[in-house]
C-alpha cells in the first residue's frame, strides 16, 4: 500500500568521490562537459603486463583493460594522515574513504557526530567484493589481526558506527550491483519501523584486483573498446568504475521539524528478485522489472505520468539495455519522459552504482537540467524500437516539469536483486500524498497488472481480457477488498466443471472465459453437431475427426502468413541498414543471421535476405524474452512452433516462397504433432477476439481411433492446449457431458 507522509524519507546530505571528480560538484562539471573518464587500468592498481590479451578466451587473461578510476594515490596522500599509520598498508582503502565521505556527508547536512550524540543513527553500507583481501593474500607483509579485520565487509559499516559513535543498527549489505539501493531500503526500515532518528546510507566500490576482470571478460560483460555506451549500437559491455558515496537520510517529518535542508524526497521505493523468471541467476527479467516499477509507483502513490525523468541502470550491454528499455516503456512509455545513465561518463560503479545515480539526480534537481547522453551517436535498433514515448537526449537540456520534477531510478544486481526508487524535488508547496477513497468491500478484477485503486474495474459479464503486450498472455489480476485491507488473489488453479446443459443454455460462457477447453463426446448421443461445437471454441482451436483435421484460425493470422513475403518487402530500407549495423556490432545477432542465411535453399535474393535478418531478430527476441515491434508478428508464431519442434528451420526456409499457402503446412504440422502426442504451444494464435474465422483443411488420416487408441469410429475429439500439455480426457458421466474449464495464468 502507498506510504504515508510520515513514511517518506528526506535526503538531507550527500557526498562522494567519483572517477576524475572528488566531489558531486566536480561530477556535475563532467556530466555537462560531455566527457567520459575511461582510461587504461592505472599502474597503481596492477601492471598490464601478463594481464591483458586480445584473445577473449586466453587462459587467465583479460580482453578488457579499461577502468574509470579515482586518483587513489592522491586520495591516500590527502586522507591517510587522518588515520593511524599502522593501518595504511593492510586496511581496505574502502573503509578509510568511507569514513572520510561520511564526514563530508554529515557536514553537508549541517550535522556532526556531537550533534547526533543523543540520537539513534543507523548505518547501512552497500558492498560487492573484498578485493583488497586478494592483495593481502599475495602480500609479503606479516599477517596480523588488522589483515582480517581491516578487510571484512562488515567493518565497512561497523567502523563508521564506531568512529562517529552511532548506536543504531550497523550492517554491510551485498546484493552486487544493487547493493546501495538495498542499503537504502534497509535504512528506510530503520527509520520508519525500528525507531532510528537518522540513517547513513553509503557504498564503496574500488577496483583493486584483476580477478573480476578475468572472469567478467570471459563472460563478455566488459567493454573491449574502452568505453561504456548505454543505449548505443556500439555498446559492447561496461567499464568498471570507482566510487565512494554516502547519503544522510531521515524522515520527511523530522527533516521539516528540525529545519534540515531537504535536497529531495524519496517518494517511494521497491525491491524484488527475478525469481525463476530469468534464464539464469545473472540474466535480467523484463517481467520482474515491470513488477518492480509498478510496485515503486504504488508505494509512492503516484501515476507514471508524474515521472518526467528516468535514470536507467543502463550498463551498456547489448542484452541488458533493450530489456530494461522494454520494461521502462511498458510502465513509463505512454508519455514523454527523458532517459539517461551516469554510466556513460563514470562507468559501472557496481556496489555504489545506485548512489551514483541518486547523486546525479540530486544535482539535476539543483541545477534544473538534464545532462545529455553524448556518447549515443546511433541508437541500438533493439533499443530504438522499444522506446515508445521515452526519449534519450544527446545534449543537455533544461528540466521543467509541472507541478514538480520527479525521477525514477533503477539499480539491478547481477544476481537478480532489483531496486527502483521514486525521487522527487522538494518544494514548500509540495503536497503530501492524498489519501484515496476506500473501495467498497468485495471482489475486483483488473485488466492489467496495476494494483487498486487505479485502473480497477469490477467484473462485467462478457467483457474479454486484453492480452498483455509484453508477456503475450491474458492478464487476470484479482483483488479482494475488506475495509481498508486489499489482498491480491492467486489465479484459479482448480478445474471447475461445467455441464452440457449449462453449455447449451449459456453458450457465451466459453467466449466469456476465453480459456482452453477439452471435449470428448460420441456425436450420436448429443444434439450439438461438430460444426456447432466447433463454433463455440475459441479462435485457435484444432478439431481432429474421422474426416481429417481442421483448424479454426483468425482470418488475420492466415492473411499474415500468406502475405509474409509482401510484409518483409515492406520493411523500410532503413530497417535493413540498421539490421546490418546490428550484425556488425552484436556477436549473437551475427551468428543468428549466418545460420538463417545458411538455411536458405537458393541463392540469396532481396526477400530471402530480409527473411534471414527478420528470423534472426525473431530468434534474438525469443532468446532474450523481447517482444517484436517492427518485424511481422507472424514470425513470432513461427518461432514458437520451431521451439516446439513441430518442424525444422530448414523446412520453414524451404516452404517460404512456395505457391502453396504456408498456413496449410502449419496446420498439417499441428495435426501431425497432436496425433503423435507432442506438446503444442499454448499461445501460437494471438487472436481470440470475436470476428471472422476461416477453417483450414489439414492432413487427412488422423482420426479419433488413431489419436485415442479406441475402436469407436464415431468418436469426435476436439481438443485445445494449455501449458504445453494436452488436457487429460474428461470423464463422461451417464448421458451428460462433463466439460472442464481451466483458467490459465
**Phi, psi at 707, each rounded to 5°:** -75, -45
Angle (nearest 5°) at CA 158 between 156 and 163: 100
- pLDDT for 521 equals 32
- pLDDT for 744 equals 28
* Contacts (Cβ under 8 Å, ≥6 apart) of 534: 541, 543, 550, 552, 718
The answer on pLDDT for 340 being more than 90 is: yes
Question: What's the pLDDT tens digit per position in 367-393?
Answer: 999 999 999 999 999 999 999 999 998
The answer on pLDDT for 161 being more than 70 is: yes
The answer on pLDDT for 225 being more than 50 is: yes
The answer on pLDDT for 435 being more than 50 is: no
Q: How confident is the model at residue 436 (pLDDT cuts 50, 70, 90)?
A: very low
More confident residue, 125 or 475: 125
- pLDDT for 542 equals 58
Q: Which of 106-115, 137-146, 502-511, 643-652 has the highest mean pLDDT?
A: 106-115
- pLDDT for 283 equals 83
Q: How confident is the model at residue 684 (pLDDT cuts 50, 70, 90)?
A: low
At 134, list the grid cell.
586478494
More confident residue, 478 or 466: 478
More confident residue, 150 or 477: 150
Stretch among 40-49, 132-141, 697-706 having the lowest mean pLDDT: 697-706
How far CA 216 is from CA of 46, 321, 576, 590, in Å, comes to 17, 17, 32, 21
Question: What's the pLDDT tens digit per position in 533-552?
Answer: 445 555 555 555 444 556 66
More confident residue, 274 or 721: 274
Question: What's the pLDDT tens digit per position in 167-179?
Answer: 999 999 999 999 9
- pLDDT for 680 equals 64
Stretch among 96-110, 349-363, 415-429, 689-703 having the lowest mean pLDDT: 689-703
- pLDDT for 596 equals 93
- pLDDT for 402 equals 81
- pLDDT for 547 equals 47
Mean pLDDT for the stretch of residues 237-255:
96
The answer on pLDDT for 21 being more than 80 is: yes
At 695, list the grid cell.
477453417
Looking at the DSSP assignment, which residues form a beta bridge with residue 518? 719
> How far is the C-alpha of 641 from the C-alpha of 658, rounded, in Å?
19
Q: How confident is the model at residue 365 (pLDDT cuts 50, 70, 90)?
A: very high
Coil/strand/helix, residue 469: coil
Q: What is the DSSP string of 186-247?
A: HHHHHHHTS--SEEEEEEEE----THHHHHHHHTT-B-SSS---TTBTT---B-BB-EEEEE
Stretch among 91-105, 117-131, 213-227, 444-458 having the lowest mean pLDDT: 444-458
Q: How confident is the model at residue 665 (pLDDT cuts 50, 70, 90)?
A: confident
Coil/strand/helix, residue 479: strand
The answer on pLDDT for 438 being more than 60 is: no
**H helix or E strand, kind and range, residue 309:** strand 309-311
Cis peptide before 617 (omega within 30 of 0): no
Mean pLDDT for the stretch of residues 61-73:
95
Q: Around 176, how many Cα atoms within 13 Å sit in the side-chain half-sphere? A: 12
Crossing angle for the helix pair 154-164 and 93-108, to the nearest 10 degrees: 50
Mean pLDDT for the stretch of residues 96-109:
94
- pLDDT for 430 equals 52
- pLDDT for 479 equals 47
What is the torsional sign of CA 230, 233, 234, 236? positive
Question: What's the pLDDT tens digit per position in 577-620?
Answer: 999 999 999 888 999 999 999 988 777 678 888 999 999 999 99
- pLDDT for 634 equals 80
The answer on pLDDT for 73 being more than 70 is: yes
Q: Which CATH superfamily is domain 5-424 in?
A: Thiolase/Chalcone synthase (3.40.47.10)
- pLDDT for 128 equals 94
Cis peptide before 403 (omega within 30 of 0): yes
> How far is the C-alpha of 192 from the C-alpha of 10, rounded, in Å?
12
- pLDDT for 499 equals 41
- pLDDT for 594 equals 94
Mean pLDDT for the stretch of residues 103-114:
92
Q: What percent of the chain is modeled with pLDDT above 90?
A: 50
Look over the chain and give the mean of its residue pLDDT values, rounded to a whole number.
78
Mean pLDDT for the stretch of residues 403-410:
95
Q: How confident is the model at residue 460 (pLDDT cuts 50, 70, 90)?
A: very low
Looking at the DSSP assignment, which residues form a beta bridge with residue 474? 467
> How far is the C-alpha of 486 from the C-alpha of 454, rounded, in Å?
13
Which pTM value belongs to this model?
0.77
Task: Match 560483460 to its residue by C-alpha cell.
Answer: 221
The answer on pLDDT for 636 being more than 50 is: yes
> How far is the C-alpha of 682 from the C-alpha of 24, rounded, in Å?
52
Amino acid at each position: 500500500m502507498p506510504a504515508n507522509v510520515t513514511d517518506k524519507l528526506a535526503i538531507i546530505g550527500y557526498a562522494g568521490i567519483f572517477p576524475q571528480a572528488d566531489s558531486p560538484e566536480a561530477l556535475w562539471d563532467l556530466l555537462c562537459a560531455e566527457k567520459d573518464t575511461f582510461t587504461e587500468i592505472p599502474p597503481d592498481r596492477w601492471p598490464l603486463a601478463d594481464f591483458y590479451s586480445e584473445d577473449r578466451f586466453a587462459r587467465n587473461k583479460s580482453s578488457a583493460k579499461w577502468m574509470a578510476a579515482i586518483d587513489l594515490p592522491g586520495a591516500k596522500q590527502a586522507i591517510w594522515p587522518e588515520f593511524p599509520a599502522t593501518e595504511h598498508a593492510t586496511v581496505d582503502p574502502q573503509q578509510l574513504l568511507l569514513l572520510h565521505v561520511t564526514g563530508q556527508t554529515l557536514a553537508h547536512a549541517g550535522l556532526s557526530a556531537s550533534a547526533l550524540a543523543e540520537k539513534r543513527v543507523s548505518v547501512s553500507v552497500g558492498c560487492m567484493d573484498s578485493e583488497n583481501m586478494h592483495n593481502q593474500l599475495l602480500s609479503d607483509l606479516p599477517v596480523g589481526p588488522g589483515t582480517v579485520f581491516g578487510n571484512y565487509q562488515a567493518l565497512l559499516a561497523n567502523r563508521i558506527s564506531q568512529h562517529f559513535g552511532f548506536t543504531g543498527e550497523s550492517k554491510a549489505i551485498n546484493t552486487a550491483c544493487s547493493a546501495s539501493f538495498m542499503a537504502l531500503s534497509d535504512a528506510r526500515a530503520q527509520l520508519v519501523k525500528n525507531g532510528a532518528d537518522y540513517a547513513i546510507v553509503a557504498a564503496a566500490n574500488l577496483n583493486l584486483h584483476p580477478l573480476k576482470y578475468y572472469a567478467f571478460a570471459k563472460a563478455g560483460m566488459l567493454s573491449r573498446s574502452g568505453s561504456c555506451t548505454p543505449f548505443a549500437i556500439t555498446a559492447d559491455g561496461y567499464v568498471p568504475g570507482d566510487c565512494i558515496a554516502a547519503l544522510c537520510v531521515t524522515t520527511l517529518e523530522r527533516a521539516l521539524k528540525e529545519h534540515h535542508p531537504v535536497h529531495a524526497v524519496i517518494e517511494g521505493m521497491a525491491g524484488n528478485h527475478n525469481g525463476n523468471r530469468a534464464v539464469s541467476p545473472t540474466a535480467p527479467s523484463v517481467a520482474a522489472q515491470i513488477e518492480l516499477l509498478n510496485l515503486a509507483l504504488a508505494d509512492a502513490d503516484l501515476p507514471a505520468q508524474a515521472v518526467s525523468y528516468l535514470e536507467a541502470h543502463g550498463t551498456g550491454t547489448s542484452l541488458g539495455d533493450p530489456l530494461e528499455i522494454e520494461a521502462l516503456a511498458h510502465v513509463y512509455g505512454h508519455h514523454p519522459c527523458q532517459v539517461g545513465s551516469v554510466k556513460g561518463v563514470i562507468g559501472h560503479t557496481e556496489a555504489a552504482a545506485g548512489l551514483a545515480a541518486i547523486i546525479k539526480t540530486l544535482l539535476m534537481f539543483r541545477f534544473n537540467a538534464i545532462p545529455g547522453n553524448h556518447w549515443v551517436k546511433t541508437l541500438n535498433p533493439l533499443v530504438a524500437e522499444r522506446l515508445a514515448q521515452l526519449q534519450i537526449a544527446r545534449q543537455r537540456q533544461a528540466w521543467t516539469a509541472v507541478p514538480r520534477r520527479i525521477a525514477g531510478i533503477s539499480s539491478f544486481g547481477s544476481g537478480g536483486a532489483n531496486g527502483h526508487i521514486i525521487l522527487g524535488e522538494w518544494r514548500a508547496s509540495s503536497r503530501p500524498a492524498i489519501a484515496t477513497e476506500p473501495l467498497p468491500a468485495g471482489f475486483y478484477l483488473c485488466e492489467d497488472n496495476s494494483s487498486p485503486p487505479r485502473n480497477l474495474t469490477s467484473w462485467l459479464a462478457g467483457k474479454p481480457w486484453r492480452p498483455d503486450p509484453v508477456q503475450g498472455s491474458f492478464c487476470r489480476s484479482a483483488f479482494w477488498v475488506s475495509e481498508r485491507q486489499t489482498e491480491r488473489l492467486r489465479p484459479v488453479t482448480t478445474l471447475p466443471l461445467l455441464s452440457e446443459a449449462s453449455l447449451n443454455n449459456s453458450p457465451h460462457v466459453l467466449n466469456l472465459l476465453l480459456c482452453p477447453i477439452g471435449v470428448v463426446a460420441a456425436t450420436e448421443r448429443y444434439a450439438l453437431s461438430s460444426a456447432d461445437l466447433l463454433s463455440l471454441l475459441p479462435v485457435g482451436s484444432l478439431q481432429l475427426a474421422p474426416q481429417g483435421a481442421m483448424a479454426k484460425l483468425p482470418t488475420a493470422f492466415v492473411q499474415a502468413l500468406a502475405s509474409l513475403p509482401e510484409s518483409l518487402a515492406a520493411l523500410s530500407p532503413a530497417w535493413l541498414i540498421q539490421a546490418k549495423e546490428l550484425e556488425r556490432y552484436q556477436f549473437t545477432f551475427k551468428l543468428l543471421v549466418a545460420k538463417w542465411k545458411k538455411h536458405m535453399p537458393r541463392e540469396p535474393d532481396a526477400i530471402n535476405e530480409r527473411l534471414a535478418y527478420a528470423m534472426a531478430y525473431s530468434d534474438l527476441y525469443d532468446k532474450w524474452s523481447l517482444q517484436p515491434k517492427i518485424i511481422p508478428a507472424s514470425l513470432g508464431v513461427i518461432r514458437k512452433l520451431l521451439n516446439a519442434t513441430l518442424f525444422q528451420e530448414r523446412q520453414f526456409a524451404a516452404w517460404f516462397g512456395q505457391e502453396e499457402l504456408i498456413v496449410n503446412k502449419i496446420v498439417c504440422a499441428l495435426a501431425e504433432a497432436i496425433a503423435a502426442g507432442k506438446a503444442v504451444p499454448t499461445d501460437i494464435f494471438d487472436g481470440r477476439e470475436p470476428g471472422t474465422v476461416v477453417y483450414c483443411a489439414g492432413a487427412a488420416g488422423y482420426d479419433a481411433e488413431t489419436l485415442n487408441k479406441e475402436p469407436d469410429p464415431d468418436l469426435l475429439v476436439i481438443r485445445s492446449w494449455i501449458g504445453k500439455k494436452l488436457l487429460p480426457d474428461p470423464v463422461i458421466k451417464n448421458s451428460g457431458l462433463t466439460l472442464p474449464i481451466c483458467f490459465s495464468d
